[in-house]
Each structure stands twice: as C-alpha cells, then as structure tokens.
C-alpha cells in the first residue's frame, strides 16, 4: 500500500486542505494518507480553534486515513524544530513512501537548492543571522538578508514565504536523517497563508478563524463532511475563550515573575517585558503588542506566552528535542488506516498508543531496561498531559473529565 505523509495543523480543515490531500495522493500514487498533526497548541504559539479530537474527526471525514499527534515540544516551536519532529514521527511510523507539502513556489528544485545551501553553510549563516538579531532585526528578515548576501537574492525571496520556509525545513530534516521518504510539493492555491479574504471557495485557516470571530458562516470554505463537525463543536462551547486566556496568562506571569527565567524561550530581559505588559494590558492583543519589539516577532511572543501559561521548563523541552520523540499517539484512523497500521506494525521504531492509560505499559515494554530513556519518555508524556489540561481550562464550556481526556479517549475510528 503506497503511503503519503502529510504534516498538518488542520486549524480547521478547509477546502485548501482537501485539495492538498487529494493532490498528494495523486502525485504520490498513494492509497493511504497519513497525517502528523499538531495537538492543542500550534506552531505559531496559538491554542487550536478546537481540540485535537474534533480536528481528527474532520480530517478522517475528509479522507485522511491515519492521524498521529505531533508531540508538544515540537508542535509549539520554530519552523526547523517543528519540521524535525514531524519528519521523525513519519520515519518512526515506518512504511511512508513520500512526504507531500504545500508551498508558495510549487517547485521542488528551488526549495532543495535553498535547503542544500542552509545545510552546507549552516554555521556561517547562523553566525551572520545572530549578528543581525543583535542589531535589532527580526529572525525571518535577518536570515533572508544573510541568504541574499551569501548566495542568490532569489533564494532569499523564496524564504520570505511561510510555506516555503516550512518546506525547506522538511527537506533539511529529510536530508539530515538520510531518509528514504521522497519529498513532493504542491503549489498553494487560493488565499495566502495570512490572507483573511477568501478566493472563490478557498479561504486560509487564518481567514476562516477571522470570519468565525466576526460571527460569519464559514461552511462554504469547508468540505461538506467537515462543516457540521466544526459547527457542532463550536455550538457546544468547545472553542477557546480568549478573555480567559488573557486573564490566566496575566495571573501566571505576575504570580511566577521570579521563575519566568526558567521557562523555555524566555531569554534574559524578556521576563521584565512580560511582567510590565501583564500589568498594563487589558486584553490578549494588548499583551502581545506590549511585549513585541524589533527582535521579538509576534509568533515568537505567542510561543513564549504558551510556554509561560503551561509552565514549560527549559530543561524539559531541551531534553525532549535532544532525545527525539519517544512514543507515537494515534488520534484516529479509517478502516484502510487500520489495515495499514497492522501491515506496518513491525516497521515502527516507536510504541504507538491510542490513549495514555495504556502508554505506561507500552513505555515499560519499550524502555524498561533503559532507565534513562524510560524516564525521558515519561517526562515527554507529562508535557503532553499538561498541554491537554491547560487547553481544557481555556474552553468556553469544559466537558466533565476533559482535563484527563488523553487517558480515556481512544483513537477515533472512521
């Protein structure tokens, strides 16, 4: 069964994602589509529109066969780390023939050239980028300028687009691991990544979330099988309360001011900006704007705020990133996906579990004789549990038992 891997957030699953899914199957000549999907907190540092199980239901309804969670330390992180974690999950699953991703360029050659340059000259590029950061330039602008100076300005232009950036990072991750997974890319269609206006029946996830915030109907921009799933969840109050998020963040920052330096990605001096902002901001947007500077992009601030909210200690994330994912969490699968998982079971290099009530036994079987890895796996698990608990606290209407849903929710079968 030829299989194509997809690296996704589905926040929410929309018509552009459906196009990507169908075209990925066609390009890879694949029977099975496997998605590695972010959980409750996303790459740009935001809580997901709806929880990971609602988004899994939408993905399965649209035709994805297997949905596996990208663990929190990689899901809520920079593009290189996000890509590295997702590729490692696909590799660990075994049986993935191709990885297909969307990009603004739609052409693999230029992306591979950029990836090769960034790998070959990684040290000099990083050094020059750090110098520009110290001068007050944002990371994306600094790296683009360095690439333009060291290589081809056209490559720098290519690296200015968000999906191109992620695509290059996927290619770097595949190259670093010596992966046999074949990369493929599709041109992004319709609305741009940050575009809030729809183009025909294609709207970006950003645009759809903005429409929902204005109380507009978004059904035309979602696959027919997905629209009622999202509508039902939002009507049930399973969306995030932004006001509550701001209040919890402010309370956490002010309560833990002396310990903020221990939080992942809170660098020297940033804790003071956070405390000052928390004292004056009357809403989430005000808080972000108050912290923002030339060196601190909005995305980075949002990720920092997520880590502050969750109390994510620096050493725990750094340990996870150094070790790599130590388990795979199956969120859902189709009948075809079940057959594929059974067929590829012996090719998996990490334990695959449906819910966390069974994960402890799986980890003992896999790492029982290696105390260091077993303990590290438990610490990774604790980070995921914390993400689920805090996400549940942010919901407008929290269902009973949602704080420990990872322990009672089996994989969704479609």
Q: Are residues 325 and 395 in the same domain?
A: yes
Which of 252, 284, 314 is the last residue before a domain boundary?
314
Q: Are residues 221 and 304 in the same domain?
A: no
Residue 125 counted as an annotated binding residue? no
Residue 272 counted as an annotated binding residue? no
Residue 20 counted as an annotated binding residue? yes
CA distance 173 to 53: 27
Q: Are residues 307 and 171 in the same domain?
A: no
List the chain residues with pLDDT less than 50: 191
Give the model confidence (pLDDT) of 306-327 as tens digits.
999 999 999 999 999 999 999 9
Output the pTM of the full model: 0.95
Q: Which two tokens stand for residue 387?
A: 């993400």
Q: Are residues 78 and 131 in the same domain?
A: no
Which of 314, 343, 367 is the last residue before a domain boundary?
314
Q: Are residues 152 and 48 in the same domain?
A: no
Q: Are residues 324 and 213 in the same domain?
A: yes
Closest CA to 285 of 269, 301, 273, 270: 301
* pLDDT in the model for residue 257: 95
Residue 301 counted as an annotated binding residue? no
Pairing state between β 66-70 and 328-333: antiparallel
* pLDDT in the model for residue 139: 72
Which of 256, 291, 314 is the last residue before a domain boundary?
314
Q: Is 18 in contact with 62 (CB distance < 8 Å)?
A: yes
Q: Are residues 257 and 124 in the same domain?
A: no
Q: How far lies 226's CA from each of 59, 219, 395, in Å?
A: 8, 9, 21
* pLDDT in the model for residue 215: 93
345: CB partners within 8 A, 6+ apart = none
* pLDDT in the model for residue 199: 64
Residue 7 counted as an annotated binding residue? yes
For the chain, how many structural domains are there in total?
Answer: 3
Residue 17 counted as an annotated binding residue? yes
Q: Are residues 221 and 272 in the same domain?
A: no
* pLDDT in the model for residue 196: 55
CA distance 228 to 209: 16
Q: Is 39 in contact with 384 (CB distance < 8 Å)?
A: yes
Residue 188 counted as an annotated binding residue? yes
CA neighbours closer than 13 Å in the CB half-sphere of residue 47: 26
297: CB partners within 8 A, 6+ apart = 138, 139, 140
Q: Are residues 10 and 96 in the same domain?
A: yes
Give the model confidence (pLDDT) of 124-142 as tens digits.
888 888 888 778 777 777 8
Residue 95 counted as an annotated binding residue? no
Q: How far lies 23's CA from each of 27, 99, 102, 398, 406, in Å?
A: 6, 12, 10, 37, 32
For the chain, the farthest-separated pair of C-alpha atoms sits apart, in whole angstroms, at 57
Residue 246 counted as an annotated binding residue? no
Q: Are residues 126 and 268 in the same domain?
A: no
Q: Are residues 388 and 293 in the same domain?
A: no
For residue 355, the cross-strand partners are none
Residue 355 counted as an annotated binding residue? no
* pLDDT in the model for residue 190: 63
* pLDDT in the model for residue 144: 81
Residue 169 counted as an annotated binding residue? no
* pLDDT in the model for residue 363: 92
**Omega prior to 217 cis, within 30 of 0:** no
Residue 165 counted as an annotated binding residue? no
Residue 155 lies in domain: 112-160
Give the model confidence (pLDDT) of 257-280 as tens digits.
999 999 999 998 899 999 999 999
Residue 374 counted as an annotated binding residue? no
CA distance 374 to 77: 24
Residue 390: exposed, middle, or buried by beta-carbon count in 10 A (0-12, 13-18, 19+)? buried
Residue 207 counted as an annotated binding residue? no
Q: Are residues 232 and 336 in the same domain?
A: yes
* pLDDT in the model for residue 85: 99
Residue 19 counted as an annotated binding residue? yes
């Amino acid at each position: 069964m030829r299989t194509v891997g997809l690296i996704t957030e589905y926040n929410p699953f929309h018509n552009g994602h459906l196009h990507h899914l169908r075209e990925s199957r066609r390009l890879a000549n694949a029977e099975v589509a496997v998605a590695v999907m972010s959980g409750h907190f996303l790459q740009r540092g935001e809580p997901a529109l709806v929880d990971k199980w609602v988004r899994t239901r939408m993905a399965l309804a649209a035709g994805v066969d297997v949905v596996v969670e990208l663990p929190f330390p990689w899901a809520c992180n920079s593009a290189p780390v996000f890509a590295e974690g997702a590729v490692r999950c696909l590799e660990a699953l075994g049986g993935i023939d191709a990885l297909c991703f969307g990009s603004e360029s739609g052409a693999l050659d230029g992306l591979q050239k950029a990836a090769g340059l960034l790998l070959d000259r990684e040290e000099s590029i990083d050094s020059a980028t750090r110098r520009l950061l110290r001068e007050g330039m944002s990371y994306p602008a600094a790296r683009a300028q360095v690439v333009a100076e060291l290589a081809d300005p056209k490559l720098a232009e290519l690296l200015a687009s968000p999906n191109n950036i992620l695509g290059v990072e996927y290619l770097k991750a595949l190259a670093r691991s010596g992966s046999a997974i074949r990369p493929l890319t599709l041109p992004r269609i319709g609305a741009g990544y940050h575009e809030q206006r729809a183009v025909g029946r294609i709207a970006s996830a950003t645009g759809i979330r903005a429409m929902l915030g204005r109380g507009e109907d978004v059904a035309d921009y979602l696959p027919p099988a997905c629209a009622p799933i999202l509508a039902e969840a939002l009507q049930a109050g399973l969306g995030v309360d932004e006001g509550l998020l701001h209040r919890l963040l402010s309370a956490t920052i002010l309560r833990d001011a002396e310990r903020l330096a221990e939080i992942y990605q809170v660098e020297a001096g940033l804790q003071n900006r956070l405390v000052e902002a928390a004292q004056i901001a009357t809403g989430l947007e005000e808080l972000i704007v108050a912290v923002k500077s030339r060196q601190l992009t909005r995305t980075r601030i949002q990720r920092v705020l997520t880590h502050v909210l969750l109390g994510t200690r620096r050493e725990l994330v750094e340990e996870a990133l150094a070790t790599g994912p130590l388990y795979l969490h199956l969120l859902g699968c189709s009948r075809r996906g079940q057959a594929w998982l059974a067929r590829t079971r012996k090719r998996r290099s990490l334990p695959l579990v449906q819910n966390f009530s069974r994960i402890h036994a799986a980890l003992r079987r896999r790492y029982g004789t290696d105390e260091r890895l077993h303990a590290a796996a438990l610490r990774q698990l604790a980070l995921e549990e914390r993400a689920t608990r805090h996400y549940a606290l942010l919901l407008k209407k929290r269902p009973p038992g949602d704080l420990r849903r990872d322990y009672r929710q089996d994989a969704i079968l479609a």
